[in-house]
Chain A
Amino acid sequence: DQQVKQNSPSLSVQEGRISILNCDYTNSMFDYFLWYKKYPAEGPTFLISISSIKDKNEDGRFTVFLNKSAKHLSLHIVPSQPGDSAVYFCAASPPTGTASKLTFGTGTRLQVTL
Chain B
Amino acid sequence: KAGVTQTPRYLIKTRGQQVTLSCSPISGHRSVSWYQQTPGQGLQFLFEYFSETQRNKGNFPGRFSGRQFSNSRSEMNVSTLELGDSALYLCASSLLSGPVEQFFGPGTRLTVL
Contact = CB atoms under 8 A, between A and B. Distances in A.
Q: Do A and B bind each other?
A: yes
Most-contacted residue by chain B among A34, A95, A101 (CB, 10 A) = A101
Interface in A1-56: 31-32, 34, 36, 41-46, 49, 51
Given A101-B33, A101-B58, A89 B43 contact: yes
Contacts of B31: 100
Interface stretch (A64-72, A77-85, A102-110): A102-110
Contact of B106 (A43, A49, A93, A97): A43
A41 B109 contact: yes
A52 to B, nearest CB: 9
Contact of B43 (A51, A97, A98, A104): A104
A100 B104 contact: no
A97 B44 CA distance: 21
A100 B47 CA distance: 9
A44 B104 contact: yes
A49 B109 CA distance: 27
Contacts of A46: 101-104
B97 A99 contact: yes
B68 interface: no
A32 B102 CA distance: 12
B48 A100 contact: yes
A101 B97 CA distance: 9
Most-contacted residue by chain B among A41, A45, A94 (CB, 10 A) = A41
Contacts of A103: 45
A105 B37 CA distance: 12
Interface of A: 31-32, 34, 36, 41-46, 49, 51, 89, 91, 93-107
Instruction: Rank and list the top 3 A-B pairs by shortest CB-CB distance, nearest first.
Output: A32-B99, A43-B104, A99-B56
Interface of B: 4, 6, 31, 33, 35, 42-45, 48, 50, 55-56, 58, 88, 90, 92, 94, 97-107, 109
10 contacts: A31-B99, A34-B102, A41-B88, A41-B107, A42-B106, A51-B99, A99-B48, A100-B48, A103-B45, A104-B44
